[in-house]
């Protein structure tokens, strides 16, 4: 059970502004075969999605206080333009390293609908973890 909590925390942290390696943790746990693969994938997906929603919420909060050009570095401004162009569909790419966090932040900044944002973020994260898990089965 402790392994599942470790995976959840790793996935959560990996999806916020802090770097992490939840894919490596998932791969290790899949290889150890202590828990069903789908349980591991679901725990990682939920943790990573909640971390991404934390970043989304921070973007939403920041939009109320500070103009984008004063707060965001060039990478996040690029993500903001990307999300402005593609809308909530861009959140399917929230699983990407580095840029995924910026997309979630931009989604919150632009006040994209929370429910749709959550569903699309979760789908992207689930597909990524399924790929990682079944690569190591």
Q: pLDDT (tens digit, 9 = 90+) per residue, 6-49? A: 999 999 998 886 667 888 899 999 999 999 999 999 999 999 99
- Both tokens assigned to 48: 């990573």
CA distance 83 to 112: 9
Judging by beta carbons within 10 Å of its beta carbon (0-12, 13-18, 19+), is residue 18 exposed, middle or buried? exposed
Q: How confident is the model at residue 65 (pLDDT cuts 50, 70, 90)?
A: confident
Lowest mean pLDDT among 3-7, 62-66, 82-86: 62-66
The pLDDT score that the predictor gives to residue 69 is 60
Residue range(s) defining the domain that contains residue 34: 2-135
pTM: 0.87
The residue written with tokens 């699983």 in the block is 95
In the chain, the number of structural domains is 1
Residue 91 three-state SS:
helix
Tokens of 111: 């006040």
Q: Is it the case that residue 62 has pLDDT exceeding 90? A: no
């Amino acid at each position: 059970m402790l392994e599942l909590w470790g995976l959840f925390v790793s996935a959560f942290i990996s999806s916020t502004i802090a770097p992490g390696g939840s894919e490596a943790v998932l791969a290790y746990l899949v290889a150890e075969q202590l828990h069903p693969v789908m349980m591991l994938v679901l725990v990682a997906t939920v943790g990573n999605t909640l971390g991404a929603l934390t970043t989304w919420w921070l973007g939403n909060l920041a939009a109320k206080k500070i103009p984008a050009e004063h707060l965001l570095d060039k990478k996040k401004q690029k993500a903001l333009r990307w999300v402005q162009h593609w809308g909530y569909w861009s959140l399917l790419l929230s699983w990407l390293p580095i840029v995924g966090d910026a997309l979630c932040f931009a989604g919150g900044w632009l006040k994209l609908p929370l429910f749709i944002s959550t569903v699309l973020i979760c789908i992207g994260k689930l597909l990524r973890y399924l790929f990682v898990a079944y690569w190591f089965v």
